[in-house]
């Protein structure tokens, strides 16, 4: 009886297992077929065609970046991923440059509603390309439901700017505010010991002060004034306004609204910031009337930037020799790091691979980093120096920010290019050590033990910092600062004292840095690439962009998402102030978790490019 029951249960379990196994194999086979279908789509896509008289449409979305990061596959399944996607700025610049000389392209349309964030220097480089497009006699039109400051800076280069009748143009100026934790740390009994050189090296101040220091305030004021001057000058020139008139709109925004009964769109038109109002359907009708309808007859004749990029690259005549562009984007950390973080070992290996590749004749390092680990920064700089000694030119090109460790990397190049609005400098160094002994004591947790030497347990955050250890750390910081000064002085043909005068942690715009001798030229990536080619003595070349830390599987996934249009699904908009605040706190926490310098010495800048 019992045996029969067990046999019955066994049969049921075996049947259930066969059913589950069949389901598993079915799901696997379906996934495999789907993957094969995607792969076939990669290789058998019809060649895109450019209609005669087409309008090139730029719709940048999310963040404007130097190099796109691949979302984790599971992010596709999460709701509210908190990021609005990424657009590579140089892809847009490339399509605009190609379209300028393409007789099939009649005009360019900018639609900026999905652009969420962008550094001023990146926008300025794109504006320069669009200005060259206009100079070829082709019109540029822009429209937005509303315009944030970054969106309007880009749109203002257009010949005509249109706005929704219910929209607004919100120009607020530039600001930098930091959260200061001294009061909270004191209340918790936590002490943060800071060791630094440079009165302008403000990264550690939020942990030791309750407000901004006079030095940081003065330095930040000068930096923001320099950046804002470029913004207002560029916008005023494009809109044929006096800079004072633009200032009046910004500082007198309340009065401008009062004059129109609160109609923000009318206020923007009265100030000369826009040319006309239009709803989406009216905008589309205008474009159809002006440039003709597409094959469906329902929309204007157009081609999007992604499709046109594929066309332009297929038609581009490339030389057999290569110039490698390595993108150093994000904070600098020691060891192997994923994309979005400049890993010392990861990036050094990429430099070596480019140096040992006979087809690569020159190297351009595109830096968009506020710094980080001093150890990793020096490791990368040394590899660039070895590349130069091997006979391959190295040119550094600074993006929105190349400060502190980012600048340390740059001095490994033969020459340095910066945008006028690049945030750079911040030549200084610091270390921080937390002391949790007091809050642990309040909880009744004590600390005791033995050591074979005075410093054996000195750097344990459970006990007060030993004065001898504190003195040793300060000596190490001062040595690190001298090392930084000597490295810059040797690379820039300056004396250590001359470097010290413009160092001490102070940040500068790229334009100011050129006058101080910290950079060689003001210009964008395109100019830096030309300089590298000239140094290498080559005229025809292919640009290659080695991907940082992407495995073959990740590269395939990136291509699949791009082809199938799934790339943007994981990127939910995060427009609320709370979402932005939480996202910023999470990003800051992630950066702190990556602090892994072997000597605990950091060359990091508390500076963010607006």
Domain for residue 119, yes or no?
yes
Give CB contacts under 8 A, 24+ apart, made by 288-292. Answer: 290/107, 291/53, 291/54, 291/55, 291/106, 291/107, 292/53
Whether residues 62 and 163 share a domain: the answer is yes
User: Mapping DSSP to helix (H, G, I), strand (E, B) and coil, where does residue 63 land?
Assistant: strand
Residue 316: count of CB within 10 angstroms of its CB: 11
Mean pLDDT split into 10-residue runs, the chain, 610 residues: 47 61 60 54 60 94 87 45 73 96 96 94 97 97 97 98 96 90 87 82 84 91 94 96 92 94 96 97 95 86 92 80 95 88 94 96 96 93 97 97 95 97 92 84 86 80 86 88 94 95 93 96 96 95 81 54 41 47 53 58 64
Domain for residue 476, yes or no?
no
Whether residues 401 and 282 share a domain: the answer is no
Residue 491 · residue 519 · CB < 8 Å? no
Whether residues 286 and 332 share a domain: the answer is no
CA distance 601 to 174: 31
Domain for residue 463, yes or no?
no
- The domain that holds 81 is classified in CATH as 3.90.226.10
Whether residues 345 and 417 share a domain: the answer is yes
Q: In which order are the strands placed within the sheet that holds 62-65?
A: 86-88, 62-65, 115-117
Domain for residue 322, yes or no?
yes
How open is the CA angle 533-534-535, to the nearest 5 degrees? 90
How open is the CA angle 395-400-404, to the nearest 5 degrees? 75
Counting beta carbons within 10 angstroms of the beta carbon of residue 52, is it exposed (0 to 12), middle (13 to 18) or buried (19 or more)?
A: exposed
Which of 312, 339, 360 delimits the end of a domain? 312
Query: What pLDDT sits at residue 129?
Result: 97
Domain for residue 5, yes or no?
no
Whether residues 364 and 254 share a domain: the answer is no
Which of 262, 294, 312 delimits the end of a domain? 312
Query: What pLDDT sits at residue 485?
Result: 95
Whether residues 228 and 100 share a domain: the answer is yes
Centroid of chain to Cα 238:
26
Residues involved in catalysis: 201, 404
Domain for residue 584, yes or no?
yes
Query: What distance, in Å, lies between the first and last C-alpha atoms of the chain?
Result: 80
Residue of 597, 607, 601, 505 lying closest to 197 (CA atoms): 505
Which of 279, 312, 345 delimits the end of a domain? 312
Residue of 376, 371, 298 lying closest to 596 (CA atoms): 376
Whether residues 323 and 379 share a domain: the answer is yes
Query: What pLDDT sits at residue 556?
Result: 56
Q: In degrees rounded to 5, what are phi and psi of residue 278?
A: -160, 145
Query: What pLDDT sits at residue 202?
Result: 82
Q: In degrees rounded to 5, what are phi and psi of residue 36?
A: -65, -40
Whether residues 140 and 248 share a domain: the answer is yes
Domain for residue 239, yes or no?
yes
Whether residues 303 and 249 share a domain: the answer is yes
Beta-bridge mates of residue 63: 86, 117
Whether residues 257 and 391 share a domain: the answer is no
Query: What pLDDT sits at residue 467?
Result: 87
Domain for residue 233, yes or no?
yes
Tally of domains in the chain: 2
How open is the CA angle 235-236-241, to the nearest 5 degrees? 145
Whether residues 235 and 328 share a domain: the answer is no
Domain of 261, in residue numbers: 54-175+214-312
Locate 21 and state its tokens: 């196994």
Whether residues 133 and 222 share a domain: the answer is yes
Q: In which order are the strands placed within the sheet that holds 342-343?
A: 191-197, 429-435, 602-604, 371-373, 332-333, 342-343
CA distance 26 to 33: 10
Predicted model pTM: 0.84
Q: What sign results for the dihedral spanned by CA atoms 453, 455, 458, 464?
A: positive
């Amino acid at each position: 009886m019992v045996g029969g029951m067990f046999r019955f249960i066994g049969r049921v379990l075996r049947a259930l297992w066969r059913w589950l196994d069949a389901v598993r194999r079915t799901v696997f086979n379906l996934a495999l077929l789907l993957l094969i279908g995607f792969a076939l789509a990669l290789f058998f896509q019809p060649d895109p065609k450019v209609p005669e008289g087409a309008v090139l449409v730029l719709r940048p979305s999310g963040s404007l970046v130097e190099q796109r990061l691949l979302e984790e596959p599971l992010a596709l399944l999460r709701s509210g991923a908190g990021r609005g996607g990424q657009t590579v700025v140089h892809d847009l610049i490339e399509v605009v440059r190609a379209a300028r000389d393409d007789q099939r392209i009649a005009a360019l349309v900018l639609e900026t509603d999905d652009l969420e964030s962008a550094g001023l220097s990146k926008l300025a480089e794109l504006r320069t390309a669009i200005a060259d497009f206009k100079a070829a006699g082709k019109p540029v039109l822009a429209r937005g439901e509303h315009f944030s400051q970054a969106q309007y800076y880009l749109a203002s280069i257009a010949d005509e700017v249109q706005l929704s009748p219910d929209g607004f143009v919100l120009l607020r100026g530039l600001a930098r505010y930091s959260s200061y934790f001294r009061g909270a740390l004191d209340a918790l009994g936590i002490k943060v010991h800071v060791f630094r050189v440079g009165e302008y090296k403000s990264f550690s101040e939020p942990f030791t002060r309750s407000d901004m220091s006079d030095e940081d305030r003065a330095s930040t004021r000068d930096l923001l004034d320099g950046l804002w001057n470029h913004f207002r000058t560029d916008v005023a020139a494009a809109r044929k306004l006096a800079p004072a008139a633009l200032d009046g709109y910004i500082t007198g925004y309340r009065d401008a609204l009062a004059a129109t009964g609160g109609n923000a769109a009318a206020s923007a038109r009265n100030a000369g910031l826009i040319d006309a109002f239009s709803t989406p359907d009216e905008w589309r009708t205008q474009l159809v009337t002006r440039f003709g309808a597409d094959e469906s007859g329902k929309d204007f004749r157009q081609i999007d930037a992604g499709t046109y990029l594929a066309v332009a690259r297929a038609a581009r005549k490339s030389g057999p020799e290569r110039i490698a562009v390595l993108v150093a984007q994000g904070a600098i950390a020691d060891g192997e790091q994923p994309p979005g973080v400049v890993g010392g070992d990861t990036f050094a290996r990429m430099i070596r691979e480019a140096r040992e590749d006979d087809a690569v004749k020159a190297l351009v390092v595109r830096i968009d980093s506020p710094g980080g680990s001093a150890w990793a920064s020096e490791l990368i700089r040394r590899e660039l120096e070895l590349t130069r000694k091997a006979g391959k030119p190295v040119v550094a090109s600074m993006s929105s920010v190349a400060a502190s460790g980012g600048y340390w990397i740059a001095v490994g190049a033969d020459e340095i290019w910066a945008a006028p609005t690049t945030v750079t400098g911040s030549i200084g160094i610091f270390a921080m050590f937390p002391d949790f002994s007091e809050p642990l004591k309040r909880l009744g947790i004590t600390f005791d033990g033995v050591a074979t030497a005075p410093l054996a347990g000195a750097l344990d955050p459970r006990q007060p910092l030993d004065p001898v250890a504190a003195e040793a750390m300060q000596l190490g910081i001062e040595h690190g600062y001298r090392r930084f000064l000597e490295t810059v002085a040797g690379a820039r043909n300056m004396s250590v004292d001359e470097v010290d005068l413009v160092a001490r942690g102070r940040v500068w715009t790229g334009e100011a840095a050129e006058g101080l001798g910290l950079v060689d030229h003001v210009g964008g990536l395109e100019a830096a690439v030309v300089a590298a080619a000239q140094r290498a003595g080559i005229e025809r070349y292919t640009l290659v962009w080695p991907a940082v830390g992407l495995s073959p599987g990740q590269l395939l996934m990136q291509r699949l998402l791009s082809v199938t249009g799934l790339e943007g699904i994981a990127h939910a908009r995060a427009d609320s102030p709370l979402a932005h605040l939480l996202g910023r706190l999470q990003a800051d926490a992630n950066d702190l978790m990556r602090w892994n310098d072997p000597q605990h010495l950091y060359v990091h800048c508390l500076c963010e490019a607006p």
